[in-house]
Amino acid sequence: MQLLVLNGPNLNLLGTREPKIYGSTTLAQIEADCVAHGQTLGVSVSCAQSNHEGALIDHLHAARGTMAGVVLNAGAYTHTSVALRDAITASELSVVELHLSNTHARESFRHVSLIAPVCVGVIQGFGAAGYRLALSALHGHLNRP
C-alpha cells in the first residue's frame, strides 16, 4: 500500500514560520517522520509540497490509481480552492484533511473548509504529531472490513 502526504502553500517554511502557531518542526523532519511511521504501519509513504494550486492538483491527479490514499495539508487553499476540492473528488482517493493548528480557534475565515466535505476525515490542532495521527487514521480507514 502506498500513501501520499501532500503539503500546500507556505508549509516549506515550517520550523521558522510563526512557530507559536505551527511549531518548530521543519517540513523535512515531518516528512522523515511520516516515512518512518509508514514503515511501522507496513505502508510506503511518499511526500510532496507545493506553493502552487495547480501543482497540488497535478499531484492528486497523478496519485489516482497509484496511491491508496492521501493526507492533505492544503494550507490556505483549504478555505479558498474549489479546484482543489474538485481534484479530490476526481481522484476517487480517500483523503484526510490535516492542519497543524486548530483552525476553529483562529480567524473566522479559517473556520470553513471547502475540502472537508469530500474528505474521509479531518485532523487538526495537534501540530506535527497530527501527521502520524492522519496516517494511522487513513490506514485504518483503508483497512476497514
Angle, CA of 103, 80 and 23, to the nearest 5°: 35
Report the amino acid identity of residue 32. A
| pLDDT(134) > 90 | yes
C-alpha cell recorded at residue 44: 510506503
Set 59, 99, 131, 139: catalytic member: 99
**Whose grid coordinates read 483523503?**
95
Annotated catalytic, 131? no
Catalytic residue among 22, 37, 77, 139: 22
Question: In the annotation, is 77 catalytic?
Answer: no
What span, in angstroms and rounded, lies between the C-alpha atoms of 8 and 87? 14
Q: What is the pLDDT of residues 46-91, one digit of tens each?
A: 999 999 999 999 999 999 999 999 999 999 999 999 999 999 999 9
pLDDT at 108: 86
pLDDT tens per residue, range 17-51: 888 888 899 999 999 999 999 999 999 999 999 99
Domains of the chain and CATH, by start: 2-142 (3.40.50.9100)
pTM of the model: 0.95
